[in-house]
Structure 1
């Protein structure tokens, strides 16, 4: 099998924009294109080096003077649910999850727009059209799956209400959660955390060692929930994966 390294690729640097995670900071991203027969191999290799996928682009932060964004992955084989996570799991036993082909539907898009309006009103994705959403879901050069989470109906006679959606990539060593969104009027369910728990179990059932969660930022409230999925590894200095310990996380946030 041909071995690749990041040095084999041509990379580009984005212009500086406001950081979505830390106030009064700015971000830049290093990115490259995923195209051709090598796309899956390149995506796998770049994921191990902290890159994320958006459509046919692989990117990672390249911010001047800041290394706060750390790629994070759950060690699936050693993960055990906390008491809080067990409560979340039990609250969602009435949900049915189904793998579907990465095809954008109107039902998904309307849920996506409600989620953005509630959670990311002023974010860069807030003005996405249905066509933009189609590109986000369908423009993938690698093995991707959309998981729909629905309320269970009596005897499963018809599809229940769509509560949440997770777009995921399947890697040789794990599952990568590309993007997820959920219904805003179900706060007691903790749907965001529930989807992570479900994806951990999916990776476990497939015999995959990791669930990739994107970036963890210590001082960002938006990213705090990720540290509750222990043990969690982050990509540190020298591109080495290391287990995140309680001292790095700070005060307990799994409440």
Structure 2
């Protein structure tokens, strides 16, 4: 059995309202790997376009739409914009980054719920409880880390990250909306790039890019990047690099 051939159980496969584009129908079959996913297997799943939610993997198979495009950075090529440099410099002056295992507590749950509400991401209109938070952001089928961001000893941001053999995978990030001026979401991605370079990893996966969905379009600001389109990773360069 090769690294890619891991036994999986299909646990959900139904069409539903698209969480990204109003009026569209989505199909995101959830697969449960029946044993732990290794770092090498994590790389393989990500390169094939898979995403993770809790202990499940999924790959969009929507009936009439292909707007969701997995997006990744080649960290050796990535170049910060001037605005991104400012965010990193400002964040480094005031924020402390801690890396550990994902945790679930009242502060994290409250911050997650408010972030979704204030950023227009709360499609259900219902706050998650501890069990739902645990299922989504703590449970995993692979090696998963929590990057937490602290301001004067107070937790102000959380990023859930999967570790592959040659990559990191940004699963989800949320932050204290009272600290929006620090651009913690952007800062978190830039710190993940730093850690990829520190750990000599090749790629940082940023999830899905969805044209027409404002909360997902920001990912195109990180250049150059690659998107998985028609089963091929296609490069999107900076206009000035001529490649």
When normalised by structure 1's length, the TM-score is 0.85
Q: Classify 1:76/1:126 alpha carbon distance in 2 versus 1 (closer, same or farther; 3 Å).
A: farther
Given that residues 74 and 202 in structure 2 are in contact (C-alpha distance below 8 angstroms), is that contact kept between their aligned partners in structure 1? Answer: yes
Q: Which residue is equivalent to 2:102?
A: 102
Secondary structure, aligned partner of 2:196: helix
Deviation at 1:112, TM superposition (A): 1.2
1:40 CA displacement: 5.2
Provide the C-alpha distance between the structure 2 equivalents of 1:11 and 1:235, rounded to a whole number of angstroms: 23
Distance 1:17 1:92, change over 3 A: same
List 4+ stretches of structure 1 deviating above 3 A. 8-13, 37-44
Q: Which runs of 5+ in 2 are unaligned?
A: none
2:209 aligns with: 216
How many residue pairs match? The answer is 238
2:135 corresponds to 1:142? no
The answer to whether the 8 A contact 2:3-2:41 is kept is no
What residue in structure 2 maps to residue 111 of structure 1? 111
How big is the alpha-carbon RMSD for the aligned residues of Structure 1 and Structure 2? Answer: 2.2
Q: Partners of 1:97 and 1:194 in 2: how far apart?
A: 10
User: Who is 1:251 aligned against?
Assistant: none
Q: Secondary structure at the match of 2:46?
A: helix
What is the Cα deviation at residue 70 of structure 1? Answer: 0.5
Give, in angstroms, the shift of residue 137 of structure 1.
2.9
- Structure 1 pair 39–174 and aligned structure 2 pair: CA distance change class (3 A): closer
Q: Secondary structure at the match of 1:46?
A: helix
Secondary structure of residue in 1 paired with 2:178? coil
Q: Which moved more, 1:183-192 or 1:162-171?
A: 183-192
Unmatched segments (≥5 aa) in structure 1:
154-159, 248-255
Corresponding residue of 2:183? 190
**2:36 touches 2:142 (CA, 8 Å); kept in 1?**
no
Cα offsets for 1:142-194 (capped at 9, x unmatched): 1111111001x4xxxxxx11110001100112100111100111222111111
C-alpha separation in 1, matches of 2:8 and 2:136: 23
Deviations 1:189-243 (A, max 9, x none): 1111111111111111110011111100122211121011111111111x21111
Alpha-carbon distance, 1:15 to partner? 1.8
